[in-house]
Structure 1
Amino acid sequence: MTPDAPNFGEDMVTAARVLAALGMVTAFGHVSVRHADHVLITPAIDLAEATPDTLVGIPLDARTLPAGAPGEAWVHLAVYRARPDVDAVARAIPESAFAAGSVTSRIPPLHGQGAMLGEAVPVHDDARLMRSAAIAEAAVRTLGKADALVLRGNGAVTTGCSPGHAVARMWLLDVTCRLHLAARQAGASRPLTPDEIASWRAAAPPLLDRLWAHLRRTTES
């Protein structure tokens, strides 16, 4: 952790452990937060075992990753460099994202809460591990202005103003992918309209707070 960092540790560890308890990660996955010109990220360990002392600091302009950082930390750096509105990133591997990412290139919201991921969730058509700046930057170009990205064959990335919001969006992404798959099987679907999406997105911050509190309570009990 960077020596001058505020106490982000407990928030990040809570987010990491909730993500693990939700079954969105196995031995792989990470959570990060922006702090000034650095990123704090969970190390390359099981997220259920993360502690504040294990967090790794990475300069935003890093050209190499420090010891202990996950190999795909590049995607976190790429998001922060491209999106000044983002302060936290979650990287996970919900099984529904593998399925949805294999059948489409774009996942429109079918329910209001799904709109909190963006006008649609893009699918990045590259299943390689994002273990280089170039591969990660290409994925972030696909992300664009959305708050969630499905990586074909490689899980998903979500963003937020806090680690809790990023994890809440990962849970919503799992729901969105499962609804998309069910709707495809049932036949024609009816996505939300642009006005409906805008309305839900405007209401998102307090709703994400409530969802995050619910996820914490249900996984910690």
Structure 2
Amino acid sequence: MVAAARALAALGLVAAFGHVSARHGDRMLITPAIDLAQATEDALLEIPLDSTVLPATAPGEAWIHLAVYQARPHVHAVARAIPESAFAAGAVASRSIPPLHGQAAMLGEAVPVHDDARLIRSADIAAPAARTLGDADALVLRGNGAVTTGSTPGHAVARMCLLDAACRVHLATRHAGTPRPLTSEEIAGWRAAAPPLLDRLWAHLRRPDGARAVPIATVTDE
């Protein structure tokens, strides 16, 4: 979790805000409300999954982590970040962002956009966001960043990196012409191959110099 938190910070996908969590039995471990570049193992918080009150040092939006774990028993890690690309894509996408390249398919058949820009600082606001996520592995929060899931914190962070790229590609194609989304067969093939590919991407990101590198080809709007 500490490596995942620091990788998010090194990627520039969080600033003063953002958090990473992992399921731990009937509880979750989560980074406190600090700069993720300063995350340490000793600072991690343990919160029951059925909590109705958050510890004072917990991130105010820890509720979205709890809501996802309650709704998705097979999710074992959640990353919450604020990519600028997600702000832009969430402002122009209607309900979802389709995968336009293979690696984006590892986020789901499409990335849903939750149409509520409020801070997720209550269970009542978090529950609808978790429902919008559905079975996808990534969620864009209009005006409020993004959430990704994984079997490990590393996978959740790898998907956040892929989501940032997917949003940038989505924005670029709006200027280039009519987008051509992947077919259902293409998406299924990429999703079947996802676990080892996420392992490789996470291994790259956790290197001291990896999180500062661009992990996939980028597209600009020039």
* Bucket of the pairwise TM-score, normalised by the shorter protein: over 0.9
Q: How big is each residue's C-alpha offset from its partner over 1:89-127, in whole Å with a ceiling of 9 and x where there is no partner?
A: 000000000000000121000111100000000000000
Q: 1:191 and 1:220 mapped to 2: Cα distance?
A: 29
Q: Does 1:19 align with 2:8?
A: yes
Q: Tell me which residue corresponds to 1:194.
A: 184
What SS class does the counterpart of residue 136 from structure 1 fall into?
A: helix
- Deviations along 1:147-190, one digit per CA (max 9) or x if unpaired, are 00000000000000000000000000000000000011111010
Q: Percent identity?
A: 77
- CA distance in 2 between partners of 1:220 and 1:169 (Å): 16
Cross-structure match for 1:180: 170
Unaligned runs of 5+ in 2: 214-222
1:51 aligns with 2:40: yes
Contact kept? 2:11, 2:212, Cα under 8 Å:
no
The 5 A counterparts of 1:79-98 are: 79-98=68-87
Q: Following TM superposition, where does structure 1 have runs of at least 4 consecutive aligned residues deviating by more than 6 angstroms?
A: none
Q: Deviations over 1:31-69 (max 9, x none)?
A: 000000000000000000110010011000000001211
Q: How many residues align?
A: 210
Residues 204 and 56 (structure 1 numbering): CA distance in 2 closer, same or farther, change over 3 Å? Answer: same
Residues 93 and 220 of structure 1: CA distance in aligned 2, closer, same or farther (over 3 Å): closer
Give me the whole-angstrom Cα distance separating, in 1, the residues matched to 2:43 and 2:201. Answer: 27
Matches within 5 A, 1:133-212: 133-212=123-202
2:151 partner amino acid: C
SS at match of 2:206: helix
Residue 199 of structure 1 aligns with an amino acid whose one-letter code is: G
Distance 2:38 2:212 in 1: 15
Instruction: Give 1:219 deviation, angstroms.
Output: 3.0
The answer as to 2:52 corresponding to 1:63 is: yes
Root-mean-square deviation (CA, aligned residues, Å) is: 1.0
